Structure 1
């Protein structure tokens, strides 16, 4: 298997996109530590190769605590997946500094300092792979998403900077920019529209592949980027969106 002998840390790895990533990493032979606020459900908790640390990434001390747990539970980390994040819609004229800071703390500050805390472990293990989960909204924008778009664009920029700085240590850094991925939250968003059935049909029409994404679509890419098969890939942002951003919109 691609990741036999590798240890991975996934923030927010128990639900949504994070769960798809965790399941794919486990299937590829990795041992996985999930860091998040919520406890794991029974399906995940029963896996002997899966570990859990309770963490609130909004706390400044969380990265050091998570790194300590990774050392104690796994003996060190080869793969870091910065997946946990926050998204809200808000026009900029209504946004407070506290709202902005909350977005940046979870989506950008936490990945920076978690990477910093884990560098020593990766260096001692001979290198590693950092994979940041960005967004197509780091490349384009939906209405009233100024803070979210800025945080994801920043994460893409961080990815390139870390690739440049850490390559000499054998540590690669790449990002994945998902498009629409099915989850409880995204389905609730569609259901809240005035015409949910029409909204879903319109959404499907935006995707050349004829469907929206699944968490496992992102998980498969994470496995590849974490593996030695991607040994010459660093500093890249991989868009996984079913062709949505490749398709030019038409008024008919």
Structure 2
């Protein structure tokens, strides 16, 4: 399958985890993929970026568009999670979460829109089930992801007339290296893994490639009537009611 043959894609945070799976999936389907994150990416063309620096999005889009001559797909995947209740979070930490998780995607979209208008391209934002619900101590993360879901709808409404589609995915527990390290640090990793898996009707946690498959679906031209949506990828976790 070569749904992205001749197309150019940007994947932020594409060096690891879900971002890496997305970059690989798009490349496997024919896209020329650029990643953007801190440090170098040995496997993809890339632009080093710290998304806490709000000057970076314009530079990233400009540099990649100049190098590739076009832009067809933007995937906003980079993000951070800081743990604190609202009362204990200082303003700098709050602002950093919003800058990386919401303002940087907004600016990437803003500067990508002229290029996406020419290609009638697609945007996919990687939100979270915590933009719909919330775990404890995740005030800033949950707020920023909810904002990203709202931004997704707004961009779809405003720019559909330009041939641009914008959707989001909201992953649940995915087996990224970070999450696997968290599990392995538990006193009884096997028990914790069973307990986490049992939260999901499918009986397990998710794989980065499963999120990537949905991102590719949403970015593909064949799905041109799908826009403004947030698709939950959580193995049914949020569908199951708690007992009794």
Q: Provide TM-score, normalisation by structure 1.
A: 0.93
Distance 1:38 1:250 in 2: 46
Distance 2:55 2:126 in 1: 22
- Aligned-partner SS, 1:165: helix
Q: Give the number of aligned pairs.
A: 243
- Structure 1 residue 90 and structure 2 residue 84: aligned? yes
Distance 1:241 1:17 in 2: 13
State the match for 1:69 in structure 2.
63
1:130 equivalent among 123, 133, 140: 123
State the match for 1:235 in structure 2.
228
- Aligned-partner SS, 1:245: coil
The CA deviation at 1:52 is: 0.9
Distance 2:242 2:184 in 1: 24
2:197 equivalent among 201, 204, 218: 204
Distance 1:92 1:196 in 2: 30
Contact 1:51-1:73 at 8 Å conserved across structures = no
State the match for 1:188 in structure 2.
181
- Structure 1 residue 52 and structure 2 residue 36: aligned? no
2:100 equivalent among 106, 109, 112: 106
State the match for 1:80 in structure 2.
74
Q: Deviations over 1:31-65 (max 9, x none)?
A: 10111112113xx2xxxxx4111111111210111
1:149 equivalent among 130, 142, 152: 142
- Aligned-partner SS, 1:81: strand
- Aligned-partner SS, 2:143: helix
State the match for 1:34 in structure 2.
35
State the match for 2:154 in structure 1.
161
The CA deviation at 1:142 is: 0.5
**Structure 1: gaps (5+ residues):** 45-49
**Structure 2: gaps (5+ residues):** none
Q: Deviations over 1:89-115 (max 9, x none)?
A: 112221000110010000000000110
Distance 2:64 2:164 in 1: 17
State the match for 1:22 in structure 2.
23
The CA deviation at 1:68 is: 1.4
- Aligned-partner SS, 2:238: helix
Q: Deviations over 1:105-127 (max 9, x none)?
A: 000000001100111111222x1
The CA deviation at 1:199 is: 1.6
The CA deviation at 1:194 is: 4.3
State the match for 2:14 in structure 1.
13
